[in-house]
Amino acid sequence: MPIPSRLIPVLQHRIQGRRAGEPAILSPKGSRLGLENWKRAVGWRTRIVELGHPTMRLHDLRHTYASLARSAGADMKLPQVTMGHASIMVTAHTYADLYDSDLDRVADALDRLGG
């Protein structure tokens, strides 16, 4: 999984002193953190309302990841592998939406070809 460099210090702090393979994020009692417990712990409902997206699901972040990877120029194979899809078609058609700016960049590139 590609990790932005600005997150590495946060993750290093979380895994310091843990054995290889142990989760980076645990419940307050030290056990694996389930989805609903995590949502409660981070105040998911409050946060998504603050962001102006009150109906956002955690699963929607997968779409965001794939779309951002595509927009950043990643080969579609990267999000396919990191998201665990057997078929690149699932990744491309279901998850990796185009941003308007992606379309604009293509139009700009075509304009530059016209000379």
Tens place of pLDDT per residue across the chain (115 aa): 778 899 999 888 888 888 888 888 777 777 788 888 889 888 999 999 999 999 999 989 888 888 888 888 888 899 899 999 999 988 888 876 777 777 787 788 888 887 6
The pLDDT assigned to 115 comes to 62
Q: How far apart are CA 57 and CA 39, in angstroms?
A: 10
Cβ(96)–Cβ(76) under 8 Å?
Answer: yes
The pLDDT assigned to 50 comes to 96
Cβ(39)–Cβ(56) under 8 Å?
Answer: no
The pLDDT assigned to 57 comes to 93
Please state the domain extents for the chain. Answer: 5-50, 60-114
Q: Is 80 exposed, middle or buried (0-12, 13-18, 19+ CB in 10 A)?
A: buried
Structure-token match 């997150």, residue found: 7
Q: Return the ∠ at Cα 5 (arms to 4 and 6), rounded to 5°.
A: 90
The whole-model pTM stands at 0.66
The pLDDT assigned to 47 comes to 95
